[in-house]
Structures are given as structure tokens and as C-alpha cells.
């Protein structure tokens, strides 16, 4: 893959709540770094980092846009339960993508949308 994602950003109204959510659901580790209310995320995937930061403008403000990331998991059903248990919400029901796997979209505790994909064996 010539252009992999190297870093992602998660905007939050409540940074501590978002930190707890992603650490609990995906097992990521977030550590304070730089300015107040800023955490660097270790995803345990070489070359892919992220951060959680205080949202600096209203999410509905003109010009504010998002970039939806999809997280690959081994067990979509288990992650779905963890998302709900930690304050997230289901945005779309699980769907099958033939030849690829099962995908669902969720909202985190801050209203950010993200995807979760369980790949099928011998998928792309």
C-alpha cells in the first residue's frame, strides 16, 4: 500500500471521556503530550498513531468536517457490545460486504462517527 494512514485526530467535547472510551473499547493507550487536553494515542500498529484533542469549534460550525476511519477487529459483535457498554451508539446496523467482511458504523461518546470492520478469511 503506497499511501497508508499514519495519524488520525479525534475531536472531543470531553477529552477524558473520549480517552476512556477508546482505551476501553479498542485497548489503545493514550498519554498526555503537548498542550493541555491533548493525548497521543498508541494503536499498537507500527506507523499508525492518533490523538484526542479538545474540539476547538462547534461541530456544526461551517467548515468543520470529519474524516471517518474504519478500525479492523477480530470480533465485531464483541466490539459492538463494548462500544455500547462504554457510552457509544450504533449509527448503522451491521452490513455484509461480499468478499470483504462485515461492517458497522458507530458514534463515540463525542458524537464522532467511526467504522468497525471484521474481515473475512482470504479477504482483500
Instruction: Determine the 3-state secondary structure of 113 from DSSP.
Output: strand
11 is a domain residue: yes
Q: Which of 38-42, 45-49, 76-80, 94-98 is predicted with the least confidence, judged by mean pLDDT? A: 45-49
Confidence of residue 123 (pLDDT cuts 50, 70, 90): low
Cα(96)–Cα(108) distance, integer angstroms = 22
Pairing of strands 29-32, 38-42: antiparallel
35 is a domain residue: yes
124 is a domain residue: no
Residue with the bigger pLDDT between 86 and 7: it is 86
Confidence of residue 5 (pLDDT cuts 50, 70, 90): confident
* Number of helices and strands in the chain (H, E): 2, 8
Query: Which of 18, 19, 16 has the alpha carbon at shortest distance from 29?
Result: 19
Total domains in the fold of the chain: 1
Average pLDDT, the chain: 88
Domain that holds residue 99: 7-56+66-119
Cα(77)–Cα(99) distance, integer angstroms = 19
Amino acid at each position: 500500500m503506497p499511501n497508508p494512514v499514519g495519524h488520525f485526530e479525534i475531536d472531543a467535547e470531553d477529552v477524558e471521556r473520549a480517552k476512556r472510551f477508546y482505551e476501553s473499547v479498542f485497548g489503545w493507550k493514550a498519554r498526555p503530550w503537548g498542550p493541555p487536553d491533548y493525548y497521543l494515542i498508541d494503536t499498537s500498529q507500527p506507523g499508525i498513531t492518533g490523538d484526542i484533542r479538545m474540539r476547538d469549534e462547534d461541530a456544526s460550525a461551517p467548515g468543520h468536517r470529519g474524516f471517518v476511519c474504519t478500525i479492523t477487529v477480530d470480533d465485531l459483535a464483541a466490539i459492538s457490545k463494548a462500544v455500547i457498554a462504554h457510552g457509544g451508539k450504533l449509527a448503522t446496523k451491521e452490513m455484509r460486504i461480499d468478499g470483504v467482511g462485515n461492517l458497522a458504523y458507530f458514534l463515540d461518546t463525542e458524537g464522532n462517527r467511526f467504522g468497525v470492520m471484521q474481515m473475512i478469511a482470504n479477504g482483500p
